Structure 1
């Protein structure tokens, strides 16, 4: 293959990356503008429902402004298309909410557009000095010749010592020019803006490892121990063999050193307090530089959270692993889950599939619902062997007093009153003449029941029943008048005064 053909193959591979597919489309300016408006400078995750509403509102405003190249569809449909383009990813935050986050490809595109939207820095003294100092420091740290490395260190020490002595002796302090400060702030912003995408690459790599581990567990093509060993090896290689992993380890080591974090914060504060910083930096750029330490901490937290999800996946599998998972039902459910994930990965958002609500009915003549339990055949303990209760229970008289009406005694009293030559005028008079033991409130119901058996009709008027409770307290009830045979119910005035209804 010729040199130009190999270069074309590499360029085509680069254009197939999601970063360039985002920028190499007609709607790229609109998509980048919506991303910058929705996620802000810090690229913080946004809850799914909120992003759907924001995207729909932003696209509506752009259509109203006359922009022709605006994605069509609702906010949810547009976000799903962006997810398929690998520019958005949906995940869970620390509180369990479902959120959208920009992928590393989308963040790279935002960084490129942001860099191009700044004023292009030209060749300057600051850039050449930075290049020289970087090359010299790199050589002093990587030179394999011990003598050469010592010579470089001695030269650097001599230069710094001479500069220190000059300033101590009261020499003139040369101020930095505006061009020098502008060039320095621009390079610093470029370095800081690249951090979120670096963290996002490590986070996405851990998410990919988690998906592969779940797929290996579901397929059961390899033993669980082999899958776990493979994860540990890949996680270690990710931290040591990839640029993103090494950057993460370096940032993690930085945050573990309180003195280095304090030095970084103090240096940034000193640069922002420079007299020329107010003229060269906007408020947003100053806030971005001031939040560098927070930006690094948030990126580390997201990576550690994703790594914890991978670890929890392994833990849940090990704890919940059952030795009988090769049963037919377990295998069937796993195949269904695997097929469902495959179908969801290739189907559209409105795709449907017809499935029965319940499986087919199994024709079985009889199934035992209860099996023999030897404990059911144990002879109960003899009452004589039971220990006597510590306290005596209620007496028979107490239980009788709390029971239902004494129908036998009431029937005898009612028959005697109805056969008497001088009967009581009504059922209420008969009740008032009974002994206190037969004048409980429940005995009123017993008398009315016996009167209904004898076809004694009640009238609209009422009469008082003076009942006596088992504790000796009295209460008066108003009950419909039931005259007894052989009496004149209209003669006595049985509707008493209200004072007789007092309790």
Structure 2
């Protein structure tokens, strides 16, 4: 049984040392890698343009070689800065990505974790302090309280907390002074905060990389999916919308985001850190510790931004892949790529490294029987047929159409000119001929009245209109008095 337990422990340790994090720290050039990555990538510079990174790393190598750290004692790797960065990408310490129109490098979670370990190990003492133990005890107490389901016990705990707060309020109200805290204790608490903050960048990077890995898995599964398109769309679009809930790291980050996602909370954190650095005990910390403490707010903000950017990019990629999903086409492309790789592999096995390669100078032409050489004439085949002379039925139809048309302005103008200097519009409409008492003629009469000059009163007039089919309809409107025009009026 002991052999099995020892073997299991050995396998766990072996798997841990195979991770890029411990591989970086255990490598021959580990001091060089850690030094370069810590110089090039900082809290305020999480991404670096590829060209800038190559130039800076080349300058660092030249400075170290000029200082005596040359290749003889195997302290520095051989090759150019470009080759070194490509190797770091291959082993999982750097990840290239496109930021706008520029290709940049970003540290992977493994590299961030390695820098965290070296920074914690070489960044000063790590001691069992009152602050660290209190943090542990408070975390355990909070876990036990959250896991408690008995309402009476939870109520008892809340009453005790309130009583302790009331005693502290009463003491401060009575004395008016708060007991000063020793500078050594404050320094311990600051070191504990730095210890906790150093783990944040690696945690954020792990969340972002878990989302990217999930994105790659979804796209790979989608390319292999042969189900109906509608079913595929529903499932994968939902996964794209809820990408943050697809991994354990993402779900944990979503819970933490409720605490740190508010910009006001980040601003409050920055203000509190500035207040702490202004206290006298801050002089006991070295410059590096003060810089790390001041950068905590920025670290949190950049970490949240990194994860949310990875989330948006994953949702965009998954949605785009789903919208263009074509199982038949994807399968054809995969088969074509496999054929190309198989042909390339067989060719490299049977040819020498300096064997010439005949380029493809032209693509094969499509086999087409016949192409159209002209288009049809866009002009019409002939002029339209001439209009015919209307017959008697057409004249009847025209008369019926006119009966249902707009107001008869000519008849109405002639009628109004016979009504004298002033008349009531409702009375005048009731006295008109039947063919000019349609609803539209009432509107025409109102238009003529407005043009000639009219006045309205608070009383209501009602008229009955007559439609061409013999039906009637009543209308009500404010009483209108019109100034008429006589036929014998001088211009």
Q: Which TM-score band (shorter chain)?
A: 0.5 to 0.7
Q: 1:343 to 1:268 in 2, by over 3 A?
A: farther
- Alignment of structure 1 residues 430-441 onto 2, 5 Å: none
Contact 1:272 1:286 in 2 (8 A): yes
RMSD of the TM alignment (CA)? 3.7
- Alignment of structure 1 residues 48-59 onto 2, 5 Å: 48-59=50-61
CA drift at 1:8: 0.9
**Partner residue in 1 for 2:310:** 306
Task: Give the TM-score, by structure 1 length.
Answer: 0.65
98, 105, 108: which is aligned to 1:92?
98
Q: 1:265 to 1:377 in 2, by over 3 A?
A: closer
Q: 1:288 to 1:97 in 2, by over 3 A?
A: same
**Partner residue in 1 for 2:18:** 16
Q: 1:183 to 1:223 in 2, by over 3 A?
A: farther
Q: 1:338 to 1:197 in 2, by over 3 A?
A: farther
> Does the alignment pair 1:292 with 2:296?
yes
Q: 1:26 to 1:309 in 2, by over 3 A?
A: same
Contact 1:140 1:153 in 2 (8 A): no
CA drift at 1:79: 0.6
Write the distance in 1 (CA, Å) between the matches of 2:132 and 2:308: 35
**Partner residue in 2 for 1:460:** none
CA drift at 1:39: 0.6
**Partner residue in 2 for 1:392:** none
> Does the alignment pair 1:357 with 2:363?
no
**Partner residue in 1 for 2:203:** 198
**Partner residue in 2 for 1:101:** 106
Structure 1 residues 432-455: Cα deviation after superposition (integer angstroms, max 9, x where no partner): xxxxxxxxxxxxxxxxxxxxxxxx
Tell me the SS of whatever aligns to 2:58.
Answer: helix
Write the distance in 1 (CA, Å) between the matches of 2:269 and 2:152: 32
CA drift at 1:227: 7.3
Greater alpha carbon shift after TM alignment, 59-68 vs 196-205: 59-68
Write the distance in 2 (CA, Å) between the matches of 1:90 and 1:212: 19
CA drift at 1:189: 1.1
**Higher gyration radius (CA):** 1
Unaligned runs of 5+ in 2: 385-491
**Partner residue in 2 for 1:133:** 138
Write the distance in 1 (CA, Å) between the matches of 2:378 and 2:273: 80
117, 122, 135: which is aligned to 2:122?
117
CA drift at 1:238: 5.5
- Alignment of structure 1 residues 199-218 onto 2, 5 Å: 199-218=204-223
**Partner residue in 1 for 2:284:** 279
**Partner residue in 2 for 1:145:** 150
Task: Give the TM-score, by structure 2 length.
Answer: 0.66
CA drift at 1:333: 3.9
Which gives a bigger RCO, structure 1 or 2 (Cα 8 Å, sep 6+)? 2
Write the distance in 1 (CA, Å) between the matches of 2:343 and 2:15: 28
Q: 1:107 to 1:139 in 2, by over 3 A?
A: same
Write the distance in 2 (CA, Å) between the matches of 1:171 and 1:341: 80
CA drift at 1:158: 1.7
Write the distance in 2 (CA, Å) between the matches of 1:151 and 1:351: 83
Contact 1:111 1:194 in 2 (8 A): yes
Q: 1:140 to 1:215 in 2, by over 3 A?
A: closer
Contact 1:228 1:314 in 2 (8 A): no
- Alignment of structure 1 residues 248-397 onto 2, 5 Å: 248-257=253-262, 260-282=265-287, 284-321=288-325, 326=328, 332-336=332-336, 354=357, 356-358=359-361, 361-362=364-365, 367-370=369-372, 373-375=375-377, 378-379=380-381
Contact 2:131 2:189 in 1 (8 A): yes
CA drift at 1:281: 4.3
What is the number of equivalent residue pairs in this alignment?
372
**Partner residue in 2 for 1:446:** none
**Partner residue in 2 for 1:77:** 83
Write the distance in 2 (CA, Å) between the matches of 1:146 and 1:120: 43
Write the distance in 2 (CA, Å) between the matches of 1:34 and 1:120: 24
Greater alpha carbon shift after TM alignment, 145-154 vs 351-360: 351-360
Write the distance in 2 (CA, Å) between the matches of 1:195 and 1:352: 53
Tell me the SS of whatever aligns to 1:173.
Answer: coil
Q: 1:133 to 1:202 in 2, by over 3 A?
A: closer
Greater alpha carbon shift after TM alignment, 125-134 vs 80-89: 125-134
